[in-house]
Amino acid sequence: MTATADNPLLSPFPEGWYFVASRQALEKSANLIRKTWMGEEIIVWCDDNSGVCVANAYCPHLGADLGPDVGGCVRDGRLVCPFHGFEYDTGGQCVATPFGPAPKAARLRVYETREIAGLIFAWWGIEGRAPQWHLPAGEPDQTGWSRHHIWISRFPGHPQETTENSVDLAHLTHVHGYDSVSRVDPLEIEGHFLRSRFDFATTRKVAKIARLKLSVEANALIYGLGYSYVEVREVTIGLDMRLWILATPVDGTHIDLTVVSQTGPLLKPDRRIAGLAFLPQRLRPPIINRFMAYFEKRDVLQDVPIWSAKQYRPRPRLSRSEGEIGQYRAYCAQFYSDTSATADCDTTVADQAAAN
């Protein structure tokens, strides 16, 4: 896709908190992961006390790649460079070398991190500036909840476009086949925070035999373009789920869309579900979570071809009922240093409302 006067490209790296890795994946990778994130080569690693460090992947000494493929490793809670053996702590400071005192100036270029429910995020600031706001405080209660199911899809895309789906209710019927989609409250926008609440109904086929009619309340809590957290309640069964939808720019063209789902305890279902009564209570959340994750994946795969091939429309030609998209675009402007691509959207909506 190329930029034109009508179709300026959005800057690929809007400011915010972006997913880096799960604690689970980090532990599976001998506590050190190297990846491309926000157009940068980075490493993510942790020490023996669960301290996490996200840093530029090249050693400040003589520039060696610190990733595990080249020989970087975590030893005794320190990151060890494969070239001359400089050792770093999770603050990024060089604390030892094999042949002399650690140079004070040898410091990794680190990113501010935050961990929520075993999901590790790092702050990406305009021109490297410090965090301007924070992800929600506290940890969601895990009592009786299933483990996370995590699924990652990489495709050409942009986090503003994927997050826009939370306010674009029209596509829920057209792309995903949901029924009775209705907005519950007006969008709530406060600084970097946006809430979108809506209800819908959907029918899920279970193992080609049963049809499960679901009536869902969704409460999408959005903290910038890299962190969408959706509280989902199926009201006829009384089932709670959590979804994290985490869009992370990779290289300026592709994004990684990480979908994390978790299902809550189901002690006394409000309605009978075939087979469920035979399952011990502790097995219900993980099994239901697998089903739900399967459907989430199906929904995302319905969106991916559209996201991958679409053009960004800075002046979308909206219908009168879609004012939320203009509000959303105005909210997004705060995450860019150059707001020209997003700033005139709400005027466009206002113009159109007047013209309709």
Contacts with ligand FES by CB under 6 A lie at 59, 61-64, 81, 83-84, 86
Q: Which two tokens stand for residue 289?
A: 């979570």
Binding map of Fe ion across residues 175-204, x = CB under 5 A, - = no contact = ------------------------------
Q: How far is the CB of 94 from ligand FES (least distance, A)?
A: 8
Q: Which two tokens stand for residue 354?
A: 């007047």
* 177 interface partner picked from Fe ion, ligand FES, none, CB below 5 to 8 A per type: none
Query: Residue 324, interface with Fe ion (CB under 5 A)?
Result: no
Q: How far is the CB of 338 from Fe ion (least distance, A)?
A: 28
Spatial distance between the Cα atoms of 243 and 214, rounded to a whole number of angstroms: 17
Spatial distance between the Cα atoms of 356 and 203, rounded to a whole number of angstroms: 35
Q: How far is the CB of 168 from Fe ion (least distance, A)?
A: 8
Q: By C-beta, is 94 or 216 nearer to ligand FES?
A: 94
Q: By C-beta, is 83 or 312 nearer to ligand FES?
A: 83
Q: Residue 240 in contact with residue 231, Cβ under 8 Å? A: yes
Residue 140 DSSP one-character state: -
Q: How far is the CB of 312 from ligand FES (least distance, A)?
A: 41
For residues 218-229, one letter each, b for 16 or more C-beta atoms within 10 angstroms of the residue's C-beta and e for the rest, the string is bebbbbbbbbbb
Q: Which DSSP helix (H) or strand (E) runs through 150?
A: strand 149-156
* 290 interface partner picked from ligand FES, Fe ion, none, CB below 5 to 8 A per type: none
Residue of 172, 241, 225, 230 whose CA lies nearest to 196: 230
Q: How far is the CB of 240 from ligand FES (least distance, A)?
A: 48
Phi, psi of 327 (to 5 degrees): -60, -40
Q: How far is the CB of 88 from ligand FES (least distance, A)?
A: 9
What's at 315, amino acid-wise? R
Residue of 79, 82, 91, 80 whose CA lies nearest to 64: 82
Q: How far is the CB of 299 from Fe ion (least distance, A)?
A: 6
DSSP secondary structure, 65-89, as one string: B-STTTT-EEETTEEE-TTT--EE-
Q: By C-beta, is 59 or 237 nearer to ligand FES?
A: 59
* 165 interface partner picked from Fe ion, ligand FES, none, CB below 5 to 8 A per type: Fe ion
Only one of the segments 54-62, 81-89, 180-188, 295-303 lies at the binding site for Fe ion (rule: CB under 5 A); that segment is 295-303
Q: Which residues pair with 204 in a beta bridge?
A: 212
Q: Residue 159 in contact with residue 247, Cβ under 8 Å? A: yes
Which stretches of the chain are DSSP H helices?
23-28, 159-163, 170-174, 284-309, 323-332, 340-343, 345-355
Q: By C-beta, is 82 or 144 nearer to ligand FES?
A: 82
Q: Residue 257 in contact with residue 227, Cβ under 8 Å? A: no
* 62 interface partner picked from ligand FES, Fe ion, none, CB below 5 to 8 A per type: ligand FES
* 303 interface partner picked from ligand FES, Fe ion, none, CB below 5 to 8 A per type: Fe ion
Q: By C-beta, is 165 or 342 nearer to Fe ion?
A: 165
Query: Residue 303, interface with Fe ion (CB under 5 A)?
Result: yes
Q: How far is the CB of 33 from ligand FES (least distance, A)?
A: 18
Q: By C-beta, is 65 or 164 nearer to ligand FES?
A: 65
Q: How far is the CB of 65 from ligand FES (least distance, A)?
A: 9
* Residue choice 165, 166, 202, 327 for contact with Fe ion (CB under 5 A): 165
Binding map of Fe ion across residues 15-44, x = CB under 5 A, - = no contact = ------------------------------
Helix and strand totals (H; E) in the chain: 7, 19
Q: Using CB under 5 A as the criterion, which residues of the chain lie in contact with Fe ion when the complex forms?
A: 165, 303
